[in-house]
Structure 1
């Protein structure tokens, strides 16, 4: 977060495959040891941001986990975090180990970054002396321009790299430039739930191939659609059959592109088939949208095919199987017949408004104080934590930080989320609540006196 009133800072994302020295480079940029560094791959898992200063200019540098498009399990989640960092950065720094040379993973990253609409700086790390520079020059083959030889560990070339980063930054951070194009909507769901039919209905022409055989769409298809008097950029995506790490061949790459489409979108419309039960694949698609932090609209398609008994049964299934996302905006539609499709625009606008909403700090804390007086956090280890302060750290989606004197149980955090939704709505958007523990003065005094009174 930046200081209030100064606005957002430009963002520099440091990306690359595991164990190329990304965290070491971040520490070099910061001038202090902030990022965890260890000589094994995979230490950094989440994207972590720090505020940096060089030549009088402040900016945010984001350290990311190792990027690997073929990673499975936890590695796949780490890769998604790195890809998100790339999409939200103003400058991207790709770090490559000059002693190893360009690997298949480096080549895959370069192919993606060559299509990026923002500056990309190629860093050849571990160039500790002039004899090592030959390995750096071989990285021209990645097609990202001149490799910048540095030694993140020893600082060699770091100043020149920082100068280049500052020269590559835009006049205003990407967030300040504002949205100039249509809002971005991803149409997602498992195969054959009617995504392409819905896109064709919205476009009033055949933009996507529709077939009763599941899996017709492989590449995301972009379409500018006028809906509710407003232009929207819809992306029809391949149906997600299974987890990316268990997919193979064409399906694997289709799944990757679908995940990228969700990350690039602002709001996702998840289609469910009314004539089928809510499946594990449906749940997984919804989870992907939530983990990506995107606004969410649930569209139940083929509603017109059901009789009254099935309508009632489906309502019970939704209440049971989607209980965790009662906050999601929901609309019943028929992609083929057109029923309810016109209502989509209002649902999209409402979800995006919640996604971008910010609560004034004074109003937020006044509400939380009253709430905590009525229902204080449960004691843990014989001591009840006290909530000192709450702030909304971010939007898109709304993120709240609770400053407390002790750990808050997961159940109490869910209680806080439920109450925030009851008070301010947040319909159609996930919200995130994190806790920062700050011990009270009394506890600090006890530590200073060895715990004695």
Structure 2
């Protein structure tokens, strides 16, 4: 436990607050989870990976002890990575349920390698799920080859082992080179307890630092936006050489392309991604895989550069990609590209679009007007990313946070709800990357007041370029003793 977390717990003890008496609530005031003291700090993540329809989501539900992941008897139901909170033998961890891997027209290796590498970058351990009744397929073997090179622990789960007669089917899975296969039945629960014990053995007590701060490597930048917005051209301009193929036909880039680029004395790892045309759920074929790999690049990055074509109106797709970046919790810089094509009329029209609120939800993100063609203002990109990452890494001391909050509540108390005015008893910053704050209260806080607190947080402490997450824990009403 870090010194910050210890001081928070000590301060709560001093105030006579028991964290176990609080429950999390959503924006409507509904309880969504109990709060153990350990929930205030980050927990390690296990990525569950494997082919479509091998029973990953069924197994995830079994390990959670509740039906959370969507299960259907057709392959490919799970597409996006979804994270759930798990608990076993008093230890908390997170399960990352992933979409299934399968070959596409462009070849198996590209899809498998990208997905496996993303899981390795974002998780503390990986569990490969294989259908024991089918055996190790070519896809399973390709995934195993990538995972064997991983620097995180890897477990092998053999699913659909519903009785002892099928145990022999798991022996051939040793040849995957991932150690002992753990036979389990997600449907009946057979072997799930032993598997959970094995998971706790390999998971660290706290999450590893997966990002590049502190000199552990170049900081990762995801370059995202619609097709033909100029992402590859910007990479080429920043690097001073041709790193990515550029063509007037939209959609030239399909796979993410990693480039090490030195800017202002620092080396950055840029990932030039395919343009996102539509929602991942409605994409198909190579476009689906391109969208999936682009989403993976955002999740694995620390800061996202969102390119918007300044010469055209801001679209719903632009806003959808920005929302995806915010939901992923990454730092954000917005680049209005093709500024060399913007005349006076378009400049006024763009100002009206911004005033109408097309980007109101990310007013905190720094905006830079650039031209990948001429190099206009590209020197401002690196300083903007540094400022965004500095905000992303910022931690507010508990004493300073609560002193500021006391003054704020005294000047503007929460609105009355149900005839009672809720009190904010204590606040703590649970984590950074992105900055995440927890408010312990005596009653529900309206969504409007939460937004007010977030807005004033930014006014006081900055956080330019970084999303903020604010959650509320309401003290449970306990029955009076007779």
Q: Does 1:15 align with 2:45?
A: no
Q: 1:175 aligns with which of 209, 214, 224?
A: 209
Residue in 1 aligned with 2:26? none
Shift of 1:445: 5.2
Residue in 2 aligned with 1:300? 336
* Alignment map for 1:156-171 (pairs within 5 Å): 156=191, 158=193, 162=197, 166=201, 168=202
TM-score by length of 1: 0.81
Segment of structure 1 superposing worse, 381-390 or 255-264: 381-390
Note the alpha carbon deviations across 1:299-324, whole angstroms, 9 max, x for none: 00111222223222212222331111
* Alignment map for 1:410-429 (pairs within 5 Å): 410-429=447-466
Segment of structure 1 superposing worse, 87-96 or 219-228: 87-96
Q: Distance in 2 between matches of 1:438 and 1:170?
A: 30
CA 1:363–1:117: 2 relative to 1, 3 Å: same
The size of the alignment, in residue pairs, is 422
Residue in 2 aligned with 1:73? none
CA 1:60–1:9: 2 relative to 1, 3 Å: farther
Shift of 1:171: 11
Query: 2:58 aligns to what SS in structure 1?
Result: coil
Note the alpha carbon deviations across 1:228-278, whole angstroms, 9 max, x for none: 111100111111011112212211111111111111110000001111000
Q: Distance in 2 between matches of 1:381 and 1:239?
A: 48
Query: 1:331 aligns to what SS in structure 2?
Result: strand
Cα pair 1:200 1:208 within 8 Å, conserved: yes
- RMSD value, Cα: 3.7
Q: Distance in 2 between matches of 1:184 and 1:173?
A: 19
Q: Does 1:235 align with 2:271?
A: yes
Q: Distance in 2 between matches of 1:312 and 1:224?
A: 37
Q: Distance in 2 between matches of 1:411 and 1:244?
A: 31
Q: Distance in 1 between matches of 2:361 and 2:259?
A: 31
Q: 2:155 aligns with which of 117, 121, 136?
A: 121
Residue in 2 aligned with 1:36? 66
Q: Distance in 2 between matches of 1:291 and 1:164?
A: 27
Cα pair 2:161 2:185 within 8 Å, conserved: yes
Shift of 1:9: 8.0
Residue in 2 aligned with 1:291? 327
Residue in 1 aligned with 2:390? 353
Q: Distance in 2 between matches of 1:158 and 1:330?
A: 51
CA 1:108–1:370: 2 relative to 1, 3 Å: farther
Cα pair 2:58 2:69 within 8 Å, conserved: no
Cα pair 2:264 2:382 within 8 Å, conserved: yes
Q: Distance in 2 between matches of 1:148 and 1:408?
A: 46
Q: Distance in 1 between matches of 2:211 and 2:281?
A: 36
Q: Does 1:444 align with 2:439?
A: no
CA 1:67–1:383: 2 relative to 1, 3 Å: farther
Q: 1:25 aligns with which of 63, 83, 94?
A: 63
CA 1:400–1:201: 2 relative to 1, 3 Å: same
CA 1:144–1:256: 2 relative to 1, 3 Å: farther
CA 1:171–1:378: 2 relative to 1, 3 Å: closer
Gaps of 5+ in 1: 27-34, 71-81
Cα pair 1:218 1:237 within 8 Å, conserved: yes
Q: Distance in 1 between matches of 2:264 and 2:325?
A: 24
Cα pair 1:188 1:270 within 8 Å, conserved: yes
Higher RCO structure (Cα 8 Å, ≥6 apart) = 2
Query: 1:21 aligns to what SS in structure 2?
Result: helix
CA 1:19–1:333: 2 relative to 1, 3 Å: closer
Q: Distance in 2 between matches of 1:277 and 1:207?
A: 29
CA 1:304–1:255: 2 relative to 1, 3 Å: same
Query: 2:478 aligns to what SS in structure 1?
Result: helix
Cα pair 1:12 1:59 within 8 Å, conserved: no
Cα pair 1:185 1:232 within 8 Å, conserved: yes
Q: Does 1:319 align with 2:361?
A: no
Q: 1:89 aligns with which of 113, 123, 130?
A: 123
Q: Distance in 1 between matches of 2:224 and 2:431?
A: 26
Residue in 2 aligned with 1:341? 378
Query: 2:209 aligns to what SS in structure 1?
Result: helix
Q: Distance in 1 between matches of 2:99 and 2:327?
A: 18
